[in-house]
Amino acid sequence: MPTTADFIIENAKIFTSDEKKPHAQALAVKGNRIIFVGTSEEAKEYKNSATRVVDGQGRTVTPGFIDSHFHLLWGSISMGGAQLYDAKNLEDVKQVLQTFAAENRTSEWVDGRGVKYTIISTRQELDAMVSDRPVYINAYDGHTSWANTKALEIAGILQPGVEAPGVGTIVRDENGLATGELRETAMGLVSDLIPEASDTRKRELLKMTIQKINATGVTSVHNMNGDMEEMMVYAALEDTGEMTLRVYVPYHIKPETTEEMVKKEAAEMAKVQGDFARGGAAKFFMDGVWESYTALNVEPYADDLEAKPDGIYSLEHFTRMAELCDKMGLQIFVHCCGDGAVGRTLDGYEAVQRSNGKRDSRHRIEHIEVIHPDDIPRFNQLGVLPSMQTSHSPFSIKEGDVWPVRVGEKRWPLSFAWRDIKNAGNNIAFGSDWPVAPYDPMINLHVGMNREKWNLDNPDQTLTLEELIIGYTRDAAYAEFKENEKGQIKEGYLADMVLFSHDLFALKPEDIMTAKPVMTVVDGKVVFEA
């Protein structure tokens, strides 16, 4: 006699991401596991009076989306500041900041994030918006910020004579005064002065954010920064049964990180192996971003031939630290936006294999906004996994984004080269990079299927809906060594899944964003229902 299910979804169009059984009509769940996948008729055997039965009405069910590039706690805390993502001009920024300042009169600082690069130029523009308090706002990608005069004075960097640490830049005018623009490590000179949110507030913001994330069909994320303190925030929520999002947390290795620090803290984090919070990885930044002239490139910037960033790690430094991580059994993630960063990281991984021997390491490169053609086959050859975010790509050249200008037409054909990388035999893990970009997977599916060619003779780098969903589920699970646990609707797998409002595969590609989740299930529990 079959086991009685806690709930059943029937009469649906289930896209399983399982190569052996890609489609089904019904599924059954007991506890936190899928116990049946098949036809609606067969599912009847798993019903009794206590079973909740959901009529799929011919709508699509997929595995829960696994966002392979995320910043959960950082993004959650930023939700407590002014939200500038939708600001289109200075007037919009002014309205948001002044409203935030009025609603938070007791706050010492006015801080926000999400602003586009083309909007803010100088501290004086921010002075005209809020003058009585220090103002600090982040670009949407977190690699550049702008501060008003008061904030720069408090930090002691308004006047000439102060340099940023590491690869950072305090942009200055012809008189040596800070303009208000701060790049990379220079940002910390101001941001470190902003009072940190209390533990209670962090927890409130995190729980609120996770609920919103679940509502978009995301059930797991690969965090891209972390330390033991952050890991314990997630573990505490798991202990109280309040965690409804699985989080894979790496140890963030910085240029100043010593080998002893890795051996101690990264090793401690790797011991955390909860159902919802777990460690076992390390994260590096090889470069910055194209927008702030900090991406490491093979050829110079198209719009500034004098901008020649060296990258955050030399090949020797990266290789030495990566060898240690690899010996410890840690999976490695490396942020690489420029083609030079991608090449240097692949060189480092190759050196690690020569030194430590080849194993099933599944080391990764994140972003890969531009790639040199010689490096495309090296991913497959070295067993390195690409992790990419479709919404990073400007959808159209008409948007006026600075990114295509920085890169230049010569490199456009291999910008966001999803199709070329896929066709070279690589399975891409997809994600959002929230809060740099929206976490809603439907936005990323839309861009991945519909992105316009910037030149008519550029190759078509778009992907199919099926390829994108697999990259967000099965391949993303593989990219965290969990391909036997999740990422597929398959008997014995974790009951993480999404029921959508439409049959996704019946929609035209350009209409994909009309579909929304109507139910999200995590660990066998309904965590969102419209």
Sorted by where each starts, the structural domains of the chain and their CATH numbers stand as 7-64+493-529 (2.30.40.10), 81-191 (3.10.310.70), 199-478 (3.20.20.140)
The 3-state DSSP class for residue 420 equals: helix
- Phi, psi values for residue 191, rounded to 5°: -60, -30
- pTM, rounded to two decimals: 0.91
Identify the pLDDT of residue 1.
63
Extract the runs of DSSP E, i.e. beta strands, from 116-192: 135-139, 144-147, 169-172, 178-183
Identify the pLDDT of residue 196.
87
Bridge pairing between strands 169-172 and 144-147: unpaired
Bridge pairing between strands 331-336 and 364-367: parallel
Dist. CA 321–CA 318, nearest whole Å: 5
> Smallest Cα–Cα separation from 346: which of 330, 364, 358?
364
Dist. CA 136–CA 145, nearest whole Å: 7
Dist. CA 71–CA 224, nearest whole Å: 6
Give the rounded distance of the alpha carbon of 332 from its chain centre.
Answer: 15
* pLDDT, one tens digit for every residue, the chain (530 residues): 688 999 999 999 999 999 999 999 999 999 999 999 999 999 999 999 999 999 999 999 999 999 999 999 999 998 889 999 999 999 999 999 999 999 999 999 999 989 999 899 999 999 999 989 999 999 988 889 999 999 999 999 999 999 999 889 999 999 999 999 999 999 999 999 999 888 889 999 999 999 999 999 999 999 999 999 999 999 999 999 999 999 999 999 999 999 999 999 999 999 999 999 999 999 999 999 999 999 999 999 999 988 889 999 999 999 999 999 999 999 999 999 999 999 999 999 999 999 999 999 999 999 999 999 999 999 999 999 999 999 999 999 988 899 999 999 999 999 999 999 999 999 999 999 999 999 999 999 999 999 999 999 999 999 999 999 999 999 999 999 999 999 999 999 999 999 999 999 999 999 999 999 999 999 999 999 99
Distances (CA, A) of 162 to 137, 154, 165, 186, 189: 21, 13, 10, 10, 10
Q: Find the DSSP H helices in 30-181.
A: 40-43, 72-78, 90-103, 123-127, 149-155
Length of the chain: 530
For residue 522, list its beta bridge partners: 525
Residue 204, classified by CB atoms within 10 Å of its CB into exposed (0-12), middle (13-18) or buried (19+), is middle
Cis amide linkage into residue 459, ω under 30° from 0: no
The 3-state DSSP class for residue 32 equals: coil
Helix (H) or strand (E) holding 472: helix 465-472
Identify the pLDDT of residue 246.
98
Identify the pLDDT of residue 199.
86
